[in-house]
Amino acid sequence: MAMTNTKAAALAVGFIFLNLTCVLGGLQYGFYDGKCETSDVEAIVRNTVFSEFLVDQTIAPALIRMHFHDCFVNGCDASILLDGHNAEKTAPPNLSVRGFDVIDAAKAAVEGVCPGVVSCADIIAIATRDVVALSGGGRYTVQTGRRDGLVSLAENTIVLPAPNASVSSAIHTFASKGLTATDMVYLSGGHTIGVAHCSLFKDRLYNFNNTGEPDPTMDLGLLTWLRLVCPQNATVDSTANLDQNSSTSSTVDNSFYTQIMLHRGVLQFDQELALDPLTQSTVAAIAHSDDFNTKFGQAMVKMGAIQVLTGEQGQIRKSCRAINL
């Protein structure tokens, strides 16, 4: 039977819509297909990341944090990788960011077979997806086509949300990047793995809001344990798992949300997510759902498209640590 003009038009519109949904911020899936002869760019990055992960699994939360800190400052342009006396990596929020050597290694491996084609910004996004998958999360598909930025200034990191930011102010910050409150709650799931230094939450243990008392919202058992980990007059800045479920603290899953619902959030902001009316219901829904990995991946893809440089914008750096001269 011949297709009617109306049906053909509808299918054409549907085809265009499907293709538009595959492109976000000028990015696309499979951007490097055919651009590096027989080399599979994502496989090269994956192999490098896998080798690093076998040696140090904590590289997973490190790269997730790097990706977040890069995208929220100037967009996902690898500006966090640039060296310099006043570069982003010298700012206080980034002094504990690590994993630069992993990105360097992946870049060197890619440059060895496909020089001048793959951006450092794309390598961050691909490598982060790979460590999420290696840590038990879903293997979401990464959009590529980013180009590298030319500017990296420490003062620009002021836009990064603080560990004790209010939920409402954080929602405003995320909205300025095109992300919803729901996106924010899912992206906070990056804390399903990794640790926080005592200095970031010690006030909750001993002098919350200058009251001379601990945070009353913290579970008493957690408070007792964290005081052992973080003595009041300690000279060493120890760490505690962000997911206090010891059996899942190195696995990307929704356990983090269950823990904060039990008042076992380590960082003040994490705990507030489960208490604030603006996000409370979303946290509960995620804690009781079985699709966290899928939704987390979708949120990561959306974050990875913030203010990206594409086409002729920016450049493809030869070294991730310096702009091309």
* Alpha carbon distance 127, 120 (integer Å): 10
For position 55, what pLDDT does the model report? Answer: 96
Residue 8: its pLDDT value, please? Answer: 43
Question: Is 311 a member of any domain?
Answer: no
What mean pLDDT comes out for the span 90-94? Answer: 96
Question: Does 179 lie in the same domain as 145?
Answer: no
C-alpha distance from residue 28 to each of 39, 79, 123, 313, 315 (Å): 18, 21, 14, 16, 18
Mean pLDDT (whole number) for 118-136: 98
* Domain assignment of residue 43, yes or no: yes
In the prediction, which pLDDT does 39 show? 78
Is the per-residue pLDDT at 6 higher than 60? no
108 and 140 belong to one structural domain: yes
Q: Give the CATH number, domain containing residue 67.
A: 1.10.520.10
Q: What is the pTM of this model?
A: 0.90
Task: Say what the pLDDT of residue 25 is.
Answer: 64
255 falls within a domain: yes
Secondary structure class of 240 (helix, strand, coil):
strand
Torsion-angle region of residue 214: left (phi > 0), alpha (psi -120 to 50) or beta? beta
Of 159, 181, 216, the domain-final residue: 159
Query: What's 244's domain CATH number?
Result: 1.10.420.10
Two structure tokens written together for 313: 């914008």
Same domain, 153 and 179: no
Mean pLDDT (whole number) for 252-262 = 97
Does residue 286 fall inside a structural domain? yes
Question: In which band, very low, low, confident or very high, does the pLDDT at 256 lie, cut at 50, 70 and 90?
Answer: very high
Verify that 152 and 238 share a domain, yes or no.
no
CB-hemisphere CA count at 13 Å for 291? 5
Domain assignment present for 20: no
Assigned domain for 257 exists:
yes
Instruction: Give the pLDDT score at 34.
Output: 87
What average pLDDT does range 181-206 have in this prediction? 96
Shared domain for 171 and 238, answered yes or no, is: yes
Residues 33 and 155 in one domain: yes
Same domain? For 39 and 82 the reply is yes
Active site residue 69: yes
For 35-46, the pLDDT digits (tens) are: 887 679 999 999
CA 183 to chain centre: 12
The reply to whether 171 and 298 lie within a common domain is: yes
State mean pLDDT over 102-116: 96
Give the mean model confidence (pLDDT) for residues 112-130.
Answer: 97
| pLDDT beyond 50 at 14 | no
Per-position DSSP letters for 277-311, written without gaps between them = TTTHHHHHHHHT-S-HHHHHHHHHHHHTTTT-B-T
pLDDT digits (tens, 9 = 90+) for 273-324: 999 999 999 999 999 999 999 999 999 999 999 999 999 999 999 999 999 9
Q: Measure the CA–CA gap between 60 and 94, rounded to whole angstroms.
A: 16
Last residue of a domain, one of 142, 159, 176: 159
What lies within 8 Å, CB to CB, of 18 at 6+ separation is none
Percentage above 70 pLDDT, the chain: 92
Q: How many domains does the chain have?
A: 2
Answer yes or no: is 203 within a domain: yes
- Please check whether residue 17 lies inside any domain of the structure: no
Same domain, 54 and 154: yes
Query: Mean pLDDT score of the chain, rounded to an integer?
Result: 92
Catalytic residue among 69, 85, 263, 288: 69
155 and 174 inside one domain: no
Are 118 and 66 part of one and the same domain? yes
Domain final residue, candidates 159, 183, 199 = 159
Please report which helix (H) or strand (E) contains residue 322, including its range.
none
Give residue 268's domain range: 167-302
What was the pLDDT predicted at 224?
98
The predicted pLDDT at position 38 comes to 66
Residues 227 and 284 in one domain: yes
Which is more confident, 63 or 23?
63
